[in-house]
């Protein structure tokens, strides 16, 4: 079945103006200028978007998609992200992390949720490790998690200069980054190290980038 999505303000991501999109097998098969003549046959379903914007799917590099919270007690925990919630926000690629709770939530939970979201049509990845060091892993090490498990693209969210972290040393963070990079090279991945910085004064804050950054 073919679908013609008419009259969209297309951003790809640069502005393309008013266009029609021909969809085949859930993919964009052709982009047509709205002024070009096109006759939709009987086998084509037509949807008129009336000038609404169409943009590429957004990437969220840090999502607590198995739930977060809990720092105010068990009644403070938040629920898992659902597939409809993720789709409604326009995010089509997500990278999950454990957050502060690496005791009741595990890397195995992350992988299961990533595969659930992927089965629903999203691109879902995850970070091995945790706020605290030594990192919580699935196979016993950050390097082997990244190397052997497709969904793991790096390690994070590692807290520095934060009262909830384990106050890692520069040496510990350097070794962690080396493990992630080496495993990433072997697996053909980026080997990301995702750092969370807090408000506390620390010599580490000068050596690493702010919250939401990667090194």
Instruction: Find the CATH number of the domain harbouring 41.
Output: 2.30.40.10
Residues 104 and 18 in one domain: no
| pLDDT one-digit tens code per residue, 32-64 | 998 887 766 667 899 999 999 999 999 999 999
Instruction: Name the domain boundary from 10, 36, 54.
Output: 54
For residue 24, the enclosing domain spans 2-54
Least confident range of 11-15, 134-138, 161-165 = 161-165
Q: What is the structure's pLDDT at 1? A: 76
Instruction: For 111-137, write each residue's pLDDT tens digit.
Output: 999 999 999 999 999 999 999 999 999
Taking every pair of Cα atoms in the chain, the longest distance, rounded to a whole number of angstroms, is 68
Rounded CA-CA distance 120/212 in Å is: 26
- Residue 62 confidence (pLDDT): 96
The neighbouring-strand residues paired with 69 are 77
180 pLDDT band, cuts 50/70/90, is very high
Q: State whether 100 and 28 are in the same domain.
A: no
161-165: average pLDDT:
88
Query: 76 and 46 share a domain?
Result: no
Residue 203 has pLDDT above 80, yes or no: no
For residue 179, pLDDT over 90 is answered with: yes
Q: Model's pTM, two decimal places? A: 0.81
pLDDT tier at 201, thresholds 50, 70, 90 = low
Q: Are 92 and 174 found together in one domain?
A: yes
pLDDT at 199: 73
Residue 69 has pLDDT above 90, yes or no: no
pLDDT score, position 205: 43
Domain count, the chain: 2
């Amino acid at each position: 079945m073919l679908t013609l999505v008419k009259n969209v303000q297309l951003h790809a991501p640069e502005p393309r103006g008013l266009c029609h999109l021909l969809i085949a097998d859930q993919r964009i098969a052709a982009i047509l200028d709205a002024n070009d003549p096109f006759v939709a046959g009987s086998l084509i379903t037509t949807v008129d978007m009336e000038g609404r914007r169409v943009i590429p799917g957004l990437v969220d590099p840090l999502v607590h998609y198995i739930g977060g919270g809990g720092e105010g007690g068990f009644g403070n925990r938040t629920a898992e992200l659902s597939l409809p919630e993720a789709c409604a926000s326009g995010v089509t690629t997500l990278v999950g992390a454990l957050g502060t709770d690496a005791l009741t939530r595990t890397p195995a939970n992350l992988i299961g949720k990533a595969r659930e979201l992927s089965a629903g049509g999203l691109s879902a990845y995850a970070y091995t490790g945790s706020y605290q060091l030594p990192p919580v892993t699935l196979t016993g090490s950050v390097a082997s998690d990244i190397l052997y498990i497709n969904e793991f693209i790096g390690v994070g969210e590692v807290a520095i200069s934060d009262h909830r972290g384990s106050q890692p040393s520069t040496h510990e963070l350097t070794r962690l980054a080396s493990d992630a990079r080496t495993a990433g090279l072997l697996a053909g991945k980026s080997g990301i190290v995702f750092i969370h910085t807090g408000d506390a004064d620390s010599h580490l804050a000068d050596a690493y980038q702010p919250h939401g950054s990667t090194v």
